A and B are shown apart, each in its own frame.
Chain A
């Protein structure tokens, strides 16, 4: 696989050298803004509503349909061995659609099969973990996702007033036992205010809120061979009073509410100093069918900071960005008393704070190059620590990822051809685990398997080729192929996208 990718990239690079030009035609500059990896670093910094007017120079509306196929031999059981399916997405950006007004919108539909999930029958794992409903059988999960969002930013002199709102729905199910049926909705809104403190610097503040809900049921048709259902509380610990039955008597309800605040200093023309401090905090609650009282509560907080500098001298572009993300999730679990004869159900009598998850990420990336090529070296250091109180369980991993990504863009038959190659090595510099669980049982296998995956040291190589061509001034189709492979975890990912740029 690596050899094949290398050959493809080598051939493309050789071809590109022959065809390389110093500058791009004007009608391709909007495309380049959205495909250039150096531009992408900067564009991602301008996603706050009040900074949106400065995100792109060109208006554009890409629409694409993609087929993705992902297969992993070693993987996190609770996330599955890979997704297969289609994605249809559009991401519109209209600069000065009206005088001094920027509009943007996004719509996405995904229909994928999440393969070989185990010990997780709940959707949106990243948002609700570790409080998932689990069984040892699992299977493939059919997942549909709908997502819509839109926003507007209006400039009044030195001021920018902006707002956006979005909605995402996830419908997941399986048609064989065990049969989860999960419906989730996520609605959010952000407001932003920007002020130009110099001719090229804008100071912005953005606030947002979200409301998420999930209804999760698990049913069986077969009368025999049903696995036990566990309500996980962290690192495969579970509430023994509420778990163990193979009958799910109702819906598990999740509710997450959160806010975010972001303060940014950004150059309007994307050249100069960028600084940002942000906080995102979500509080979650899980309610199980046996009691109206919450079974779990958690708070997830991400404090992040960004500091970057970008510049262009003549046709040389360079820049660097340092980011830090400190994620802390603290969860508590309810303790219940089954005094059914007197109260008719499970009464919550206490709760203990029993779960901690820390994921601290330090990222440094830089780029340099010209209009048609760039090199992006990057390094990431992540510290992950996950603990459960009693029986004490812990997994700790300090991981370094070092990589370099190169990209070449060139004009080809009035179109823009881009290729990129990304090489990355992951190295575990410290790790430890304490699971305090009897070996040989499925839950021990889950913990040991996920820990082995977490602390693996794959070498990853990814390559992408994209060709945007021009049918008319308004319609610019493109085709994109992406392939990625990793050693050790034996992970393969392919995607093919067809799209139009309006």
Chain B
């Protein structure tokens, strides 16, 4: 004990003698008063924003400084060391869509921001982000065109597909199906599987190894019937030679563009109904499921009793609803009888023709409405699973 006490006094003496007070140099760093303006100019309609946080990350040191946007304010203040920053903003937004609240995220991101002066002004343009967003039908041109001679022209139909998310998605392996059932003719199909699946025998799938066809956030791609310049054969038509994919139609009307990848037919050769009496769905098969297994697992025989009393039997396939990521019911304005998908997929419908066999429908499409902007100013499209409100009917095709 005595020795220990002696040692303690020795240590105490050493500490008194030491010059540890000389070890208190301040770290020197230049700092900037940074004003970060939150620019919501690309948001449309009625909305409220809350819980907005801005993170500034210095890319050399990886130091993150977080600041919150005050209620009712549009500017965030931060005191940052000089450096090169990446700014990222995230907040909650509640949009009014057809009277209903839709909760989403707003985001903003800007990189390579040099902060090396006493004051720095930064503007962050916000965009919408829906964590559940995926590919959606942006435009469906199903009516075809008329030739100057007044004849129907069919090969120029197309799907315009949009990446409605804030992430890069891959088109590889997406399948598309056209419903067997018509929206203008309601029947009692037996067995009734509509609440669980869409009935279709016109199904194709896009090729790819999984990450062969990336689509950037807000990006589009086109699936043409025939990916050629139809204007050469029909001046009233459009140029689809730059389409990303083409459907393999039945031999008599199929014109193959070897420069454009062909979709793989799983069932039948989809011929888009030129009056728009069907529904279209797209989705993905579960991981590891081949088209063959899909067909063997989902073969579906249904029947209905015709007006003359005969029982009509059909062989088709059921496309489970949980495989489907977007669905659009189409019809004519004054002929619609029922939705041919479960309402969980689509609660409404859109159209190009006003009445059945409407000759004015040619050259018209249905086009999804924009709701705001994604990253880089790309469109964020309205997707409430109600095609009546989500789509503008009888629109002019965007592809010329």
Asked whether B126 is an interface residue with its Cβ less than 8 Å from the other chain, the reply is no
Question: CB-CB contacts of B66-110 with A at 8 A, as 1s and 0s?
Answer: 000000000000000111100000000000000000000000000
Distance in angstroms from B301 CB to nearest chain A CB is 53
Question: CB-CB contacts of A328-355 with B at 8 A, as 1s and 0s?
Answer: 1010011111110000000001101110
Query: Which residues of A are found within 8 Å of B10, using beta-carbon distances?
Result: 400
Distance in angstroms from B115 CB to nearest chain A CB is 8
Given A330-B25, A360-B20, the answer on whether A335 and B11 have CB atoms closer than 8 Å is no
8 tightest A-B CB contacts, nearest first: A350-B82, A352-B29, A337-B84, A353-B28, A335-B83, A358-B23, A389-B27, A335-B60
In whole angstroms, what is the CA distance A237 to B18 when docked? 29
Contact B60 A242 (CB under 8 A): yes
Distance in angstroms from A348 CB to nearest chain B CB is 10
Contact A429 B18 (CB under 8 A): no
Distance in angstroms from B261 CB to nearest chain A CB is 32
Query: Which residues of A are found within 8 Å of B15, using beta-carbon distances?
Result: 398, 429-430
Tell me the chain A residues, 353-405 only, with Cβ under 8 Å from chain B.
353-354, 356, 358, 360, 362, 381, 383, 385, 387, 389-391, 398, 400
Question: CB-CB contacts of A66-84 with B at 8 A, as 1s and 0s?
Answer: 0000000000000000000
Asked whether A241 is an interface residue with its Cβ less than 8 Å from the other chain, the reply is yes
Distance in angstroms from B176 CB to nearest chain A CB is 39
Contact B23 A383 (CB under 8 A): yes
Asked whether B305 is an interface residue with its Cβ less than 8 Å from the other chain, the reply is no
Asked whether A43 is an interface residue with its Cβ less than 8 Å from the other chain, the reply is no
In whole angstroms, what is the CA distance A337 to B11 when docked? 49
Asked whether B314 is an interface residue with its Cβ less than 8 Å from the other chain, the reply is no
Q: In chain A, what residue has the closest Cβ to B14?
A: A381
Tell me the chain A residues, 205-255 only, with Cβ under 8 Å from chain B.
237, 239-242
Query: Which residues of A are found within 8 Å of B30, using beta-carbon distances?
Result: 350, 352
**With A352-B82, A385-B23 given, can you name 6 additional A-B contacts, CB distance below 8 Å?**
A239-B61, A240-B62, A338-B112, A352-B27, A354-B61, A400-B14
Contact A362 B17 (CB under 8 A): yes
Asked whether A169 is an interface residue with its Cβ less than 8 Å from the other chain, the reply is no
Question: CB-CB contacts of B110-137 with A at 8 A, as 1s and 0s?
Answer: 0010101000000000000000000000
Contact B83 A350 (CB under 8 A): yes
Asked whether B19 is an interface residue with its Cβ less than 8 Å from the other chain, the reply is yes
Contact B63 A391 (CB under 8 A): yes
Distance in angstroms from B380 CB to nearest chain A CB is 28
Contact A335 B28 (CB under 8 A): no
In whole angstroms, what is the CA distance A292 to B28 when docked? 23
State the interface size on chain A (CB cutoff 8 A). Answer: 35
A sample of 29 inter-chain contacts (CB < 8 A) reads A237-B61, A239-B60, A240-B59, A240-B60, A240-B61, A241-B60, A335-B61, A335-B82, A336-B84, A338-B59, A338-B84, A349-B114, A350-B81, A350-B83, A352-B30, A352-B61, A352-B81, A352-B82, A353-B27, A354-B29, A360-B18, A360-B20, A360-B22, A381-B17, A389-B27, A389-B29, A390-B81, A398-B14, A400-B10
Given A362-B14, A383-B18, A383-B20, the answer on whether A335 and B84 have CB atoms closer than 8 Å is yes
In whole angstroms, what is the CA distance A362 to B10 when docked? 14
Asked whether B58 is an interface residue with its Cβ less than 8 Å from the other chain, the reply is yes
Asked whether A24 is an interface residue with its Cβ less than 8 Å from the other chain, the reply is no
Query: Which residues of B are found within 8 Å of A353, using beta-carbon distances?
Result: 27-29
Asked whether A5 is an interface residue with its Cβ less than 8 Å from the other chain, the reply is no
Distance in angstroms from B4 CB to nearest chain A CB is 12
Q: In chain A, what residue has the closest Cβ to B59?
A: A241
Which residues of B are at the interface with A, using a C-beta cutoff of 8 A? 10-11, 14-15, 17-20, 22-23, 25, 27-30, 58-63, 81-84, 112, 114, 116
Asked whether A326 is an interface residue with its Cβ less than 8 Å from the other chain, the reply is yes
Query: Which residues of B are found within 8 Å of A240, using beta-carbon distances?
Result: 59-62
Contact A241 B23 (CB under 8 A): no
Query: Which residues of B are found within 8 Å of A400, using beta-carbon distances?
Result: 10-11, 14
Distance in angstroms from B23 CB to nearest chain A CB is 4
Distance in angstroms from B378 CB to nearest chain A CB is 21
Query: Which residues of B are found within 8 Å of A339, using beta-carbon distances?
Result: 112
Contact A349 B11 (CB under 8 A): no
Contact B61 A349 (CB under 8 A): no
In whole angstroms, what is the CA distance A334 to B61 when docked? 10
Query: Which residues of B are found within 8 Å of A385, using beta-carbon distances?
Result: 20, 23
Q: Out of A239, A337, A352, A383, name the residue touching B28 (CB < 8 Å).
A: A352
In whole angstroms, what is the CA distance A306 to B174 when docked? 81
In whole angstroms, what is the CA distance A352 to B82 when docked? 8
Most chain B beta-carbon neighbours within 10 Å: one of A333, A387, A390: A390
Query: Which residues of A are found within 8 Å of B63, using beta-carbon distances?
Result: 390-391
Most chain B beta-carbon neighbours within 10 Å: one of A237, A239, A338, A352: A352
Contact A360 B19 (CB under 8 A): yes
In whole angstroms, what is the CA distance A353 to B58 when docked? 15
Query: Which residues of A are found within 8 Å of B17, using beta-carbon distances?
Result: 362, 381
Q: In chain A, what residue has the closest Cβ to B57?
A: A240
Contact B116 A349 (CB under 8 A): yes
In whole angstroms, what is the CA distance A242 to B18 when docked? 39
Contact A360 B60 (CB under 8 A): no
Most chain A beta-carbon neighbours within 10 Å: one of B25, B28, B30, B61: B61
Distance in angstroms from A2 CB to nearest chain B CB is 22
Q: In chain B, what residue has the closest Cβ to A240?
A: B62
Contact A429 B11 (CB under 8 A): yes
In whole angstroms, what is the CA distance A339 to B19 when docked? 46
In whole angstroms, what is the CA distance A390 to B58 when docked? 11
Q: In chain B, what residue has the closest Cβ to A243?
A: B60
In whole angstroms, what is the CA distance A328 to B21 when docked? 13
Query: Which residues of A are found within 8 Å of B23, using beta-carbon distances?
Result: 356, 358, 360, 383, 385
Query: Which residues of A are found within 8 Å of B28, using beta-carbon distances?
Result: 352-353
Tell me the chain A residues, 134-172 only, with Cβ under 8 Å from chain B.
none
Distance in angstroms from B61 CB to nearest chain A CB is 6
Distance in angstroms from A457 CB to nearest chain B CB is 13
